[in-house]
A and B are shown apart, each in its own frame.
Chain A
Amino acid sequence: MKYIFQSLCPLCRKFISWSVRKTIFERSTRGVRWYSNEKITKKTKLELSNFPAENIRNFSIIAHVDHGKSTLADRLLEITGVIPKTGSNKQVLDRLQVERERGITVKAQTASLFYQLHGVTYLLNLIDTPGHVDFNYEVSRSLGACQGVVLLVDANQGVQAQTMANFYLAFESNMVILPVLNKVDLKGAQPEMVLQQLHNLFDIPPADVLQISAKLGTGIEQLLQEVILRIPPPSGDPHQPLKALLFDSWYDQYKGVIAHMAVCDGHIKRGDKIKSCHGQKAYEVQEVGIMHPTEIPTSALYAGQVGFVMANMRNTREAQMGDTFHLVDRPVTPLPGFKPARPMVFAGVYPSDQSEYSALRNSIERLTLNDSSVSINIDSSPVLGQGWRLGFLGLLHMEVFNQRLEQEYNASIIVTAPNVPYKVKISGSKNIRKYGAPEITLLNPCLLPDTAIIEDFQEPIVTGTILMPDSYLGSVTSLCMDRRGIIKDQTYIDEKRIMMKVKFPLNEILVDFFDHLKSLTSGFASFDYEDAGYESSSLTKVDFLLNGKPVEDLAMICHSTKARMMSRGVCARLKESIPRQLFTITIQAAVGKHILAREDIRALRKDVLAKCYGGDISRKMKLLKKQAEGKKRMRQIGNVEVPKDAFINALKR
């Protein structure tokens, strides 16, 4: 009987393989035990009331992408027995296919760990956060549930742009920061230099920095102990009425919305009637529990604890990030709100076949259940049909979203070139009435009002942070100038590395800036940006014409200094992708009546194949039928037949 108990995890009641039991045994001989002695049977729910707030630590790991955050999370899960230590655990908390493929974390995940120190069992709630700049919003949300962070820095690469962004994010919210150098086992590790950087930039005394190797598992035990010693327990009063912060949510196809909450005061249990401060909607709690690493129900969650709550919420829009929940009859003052997500990048998303419109609509709806930071506007284009203009937090966010649509929902989509939301001030009361306001925000360049009534054009601006070795200063500076960047500040963070603050129009860094930066600096530069509002700008609308007929969908907005270059590029791409036809086709780019670029496609002289077609015409028939099918998908602009691909190629950058 005893044997059976030992071979089941007391929390998730899963059978644990022998190899894990062995490591548990070994570990227990070293005086650290991995689970409490309390007997848990299948019938009893996990009881968390005996974890007072002082035995709880809520923390996050923040790091630049690829600095080993998810690997560290794996080790923490292993060492506390949440997952078997098989050596094959790779990014256990990264559950999405796209996360595993790209080696990035998109969706914050929570895991509850139990760890004994000096005879006391601690409940450690690890809140894994996304690493990429686009997901700063998710990071800030996750931090709201924590009292401290582990600031993870790669000992090879040193401080990177996101390390800075993450540091300030945590610093500004008064978190305890536990600096950790990772990958110290690697040959190229330069811990001394990185320690110096941390000292110069963040005033962190080198003695405070832990040195670990998440891959090999060295220093992890000490890290856990430091988490317990240095990060303060959550302050909360279990005797006050319930006050809980919703910091994340997850949509499960079968269970509906699973909200991740941090309980600040009181407790929450099944059957409680709760209400949201923001949404003002009441729900009945169906189930509560902790993530270990998947949902394990508990009888209740108490002040200071972090776990999941299922309460029949229909979609993640009802589960607003940063919302405060309380008991229906015991209202509380809401916690200070989080910054709401604001889409920065917009792109049209269309089904590649219009017959799949409603299927795609369902897919987008379901995917946004999980990602409420995506904004959705219905859009239609004469070329691409019915679709949507979706707003994303950034370019990676957009790519990830589209990849998830394709992978998880098997959707076949066309995505137009991303653009930023412009603001336009309109003159004339009649026009203002027509557009509903003196200032409109433009998501789709095709919808730009007549330039004659535009008083002022504004574009979104960001402040970029670039970190790089000083040898690349020249080439990076000219790249920034080329992208209309204004360098605001430039400082050395150690002997060799420079930090640059640059003001950019968002549009200029949208598509390939980061790629260029990386290739210019052989991958040594890192980049991050934050929103810096709107600024007036000299923007212009470029129209494209085929044999004199304007092609509405190709209208583009760009800075007047860039118009000619952009026009040439688009005309050349159109020339490549429009097949020769029975007459000459003239492609023109124009600003007003002024032609900026022109390409001609000469008329087709002969396309018939002079070949011997005897009895075997099957192949030729197949080819002709394919061409006929292709013609169906062409769009007629005047007398010119334009394949859809031509639009897509032109709209891509």
Chain B
Amino acid sequence: MRSKHLSVISRCRRSLCSVANDSQSSKLSHLEKVNVEKKERKYERSAALYVHWPYCKRRCTYCNFNKYIDRNVNEERMRDNLVRETETLIRLSGVSSIASIFFGGGTPSLASADTIASIINQVKAQVTLPDSGEITLEANPTSLETNRLREFCDAGVNRLSIGVQSLRQDNLSVLGRDHTVEEAERCIREGRALFPGRVSVDLMFGLPGQTVHAWLAELRQMIDICDKHLSLYQLTLERGTQLFKDVGKHTVRMPSPDDVATMYKAAVQILSDHEYKRYEVSNFAKQEAYSTHNLTYWRGMPYIGVGPGAHGRFYVAGTRQARVQTLEPDIWMREVEAFGNATRKIVPQTLLNHLEEMVAVGLRTGWGISHDRWEEVSPLGLQDIFHHSGTIQSYRDQGLLHLDTRGLRASDTGLDVLDTLIPSLLLQLDLAFKPSVT
């Protein structure tokens, strides 16, 4: 059985035309035709747009993102370049519509509403941006920024993601955040008033000195005041951050991995009790208030990354590319001014690369990967690839993984141990796509 599959695959991959007297061949050429049609459809379809604002007011102790502390930001120049790169990359991608925009950073709420509006207007001028299209802005809950929420709303932003991180002042200090608990609460209130049902809050757990009990109390307090969407992020120590050094010097102590596991699992339970569904490992929503922008990533659909250090995955001339923009803002600006975009790295992705990404991020969602979505990309079905593996069968037997009429997905307990499951799935995927094993 296996060898039959493999020979089919290898032929698919080499795009050989059908061999007439093989019973499999008619099915094969059919598959290929479908595939070609799908490919043609793909790059006229829509994409999501991510825009990176690289500046922050101060450096948080845990953050290793691409951000710069600069008091003399030339906002006008930055705006012009973001608009210009948006224009160039959308044109390059050949998409006819942008389904969602996400302003991330850095601290994009430090940008002026005018900058945000300029980018949105550029998109509207160039391609279709549906009225229902989600336009999210990441915001820091300082009073200064809260006061400008209305301006952002007027600029076209229709969803807010607030970086609250904690409702305990001591935690906020350890993290180096520049807002207070009161400011955070006010920001959530005013955000909810301006963007009803479309406010998301980020919370962090596994913080230095945090106990399971304190964390759960904090979470309950948050459930009382938040909207329909919550993101829970586990604090990870990143090399080069202040916190990494502090932990190294033993000035602060991280909770044990066991405690962090308890924090996460208990949080999932509490949120579920309050009707917040874990629709991704870190993301919880009630009444289906999912972030459609993020779902684009998780389904392996195309997205365009604009701004210093932004990542993108989109099709250029039929090939899916992984793109990274130049990291450093000044150099990035110079390059955009000179070339219209500052793409630093382009890696053409093979079909297998794309499928691997789909498995790695897709299984993190509650729905997993649907047959339909998978077959839009893959010439081989999920069943063909994963059904025969002993390892995967044992995961299914243990109730960690489901492979059924809906597709491939992790169970509730499976989601907790995904980093064990995914490598096995990747191995099986590679095996299925290995060129002609004889």
Contacts and interface: CB of A to CB of B under 8 A. Distances in A.
A604 B258 CA distance: 9
Nearest to A613: B361
B21 interface: no
Given A605-B265, A621-B357, A628-B427, A612 B398 contact: no
Nearest to A603: B417
B400 interface: yes
A611 interface: yes
A582 B400 contact: yes
B305 A610 contact: no
B110 interface: no
B313 A608 contact: no
Interface in B407-421: 415-420
Contacts of A621: 356-357, 360
Interface string B350-365: 0000001100110010
Interface in B330-360: 356-357, 360
Contact of B231 (A612, A617, A625, A639): A612
B424 A628 contact: yes
Nearest to A615: B311
B360 A607 contact: no
A605 B430 contact: no
Given A605-B258, A624-B360, A611 B423 contact: no
Interface in A617-646: 617-618, 620-621, 624-625, 627-628, 630-632, 639
Interface string A5-36: 00000000000000000000000000000000
Contacts of A624: 360, 419, 422-423, 426
B383 interface: no
B418 A607 contact: yes
A521 interface: no
Interface stretch (B67-75, B76-84, B122-130, B232-240): B232-240
Contacts of A612: 202, 231, 233, 282
B423 A607 contact: no
Nearest to B398: A582
A192 interface: no
B368 to A, nearest CB: 14
A616 B104 CA distance: 12
A609 interface: yes
Interface in A166-225: none
Nearest to A581: B420
A325 B297 CA distance: 80
Interface string A260-289: 000000000000000000000000000000
B281 A605 contact: no
Interface in B20-42: none
B310 interface: yes
A430 interface: no
Contacts of B169: none
Given A582-B420, A617-B357, A628-B424, A610 B261 contact: no
Contacts of A614: 50, 102, 104, 294, 297, 311
A628 B427 CA distance: 6
Interface in A135-158: none
Contacts of B258: 605
A583 to B, nearest CB: 8
Given A611-B236, A614-B294, A615-B312, A605 B322 contact: no
B310 A615 contact: yes
Nearest to A632: B427
B322 A609 contact: no
B147 interface: no
Interface string B276-306: 0000011000000000001001000001010
Interface in B205-260: 205, 231-234, 236, 258, 260
Contacts of B310: 615
Given A615-B303, A615-B305, A608 B419 contact: yes
Contact of B261 (A581, A605, A627): A605
Interface string B122-141: 00000000000000000000
A39 interface: no
Nearest to B298: A613
A445 B287 CA distance: 64
A102 interface: no
A617 B360 contact: yes
Contacts of B433: none
B264 interface: yes
B269 interface: no
A616 B427 CA distance: 22
B417 A631 contact: no
A476 B89 CA distance: 76
Contact of A616 (B282, B311, B422): B311
A619 to B, nearest CB: 10
Contact of A617 (B236, B261, B264, B361): B361
A631 B424 contact: yes
B100 to A, nearest CB: 12
B282 A610 contact: yes
Contacts of B205: 610
Given A614-B294, A617-B357, A609 B419 contact: yes
Contacts of A625: 356, 423, 426
Interface in B97-154: 102, 104
Interface in A553-608: 581-582, 604-608
B394 interface: yes
Given A582-B420, A631-B423, A615 B297 contact: yes
A327 B419 CA distance: 73
Contacts of B262: 605
Contacts of A618: 311, 322, 324
A288 B185 CA distance: 95
Contacts of B427: 628, 631-632
Contacts of A605: 258, 261-262, 265, 416-417
Nearest to A631: B423
Contacts of B313: 615
B419 A628 contact: no
Contacts of B415: 608
A446 to B, nearest CB: 27
Contacts of A615: 50, 297, 303, 305, 310-313
A606 B264 contact: yes
A620 B398 CA distance: 26
B268 to A, nearest CB: 9
Interface in B191-211: 202, 205
A627 B416 contact: no
Contacts of A610: 205, 232-234, 264, 281-282
A333 B217 CA distance: 96
Nearest to B66: A616
Interface in B378-423: 394, 398, 400, 415-420, 422-423
Given A609-B419, A614-B104, 20 more contacts: A582-B400, A604-B417, A605-B258, A605-B262, A607-B418, A608-B364, A608-B419, A609-B236, A610-B205, A610-B234, A614-B297, A615-B311, A617-B297, A617-B311, A617-B357, A618-B324, A624-B422, A628-B430, A631-B424, A631-B427
21 contacts: A605-B262, A605-B416, A607-B417, A607-B420, A608-B364, A608-B415, A608-B416, A608-B417, A609-B419, A610-B205, A610-B281, A612-B231, A612-B233, A613-B364, A614-B294, A616-B311, A620-B360, A621-B356, A624-B419, A627-B422, A639-B394
User: 6 tightest A-B contacts by CB?
Assistant: A606-B261, A628-B423, A627-B423, A608-B418, A615-B311, A607-B419
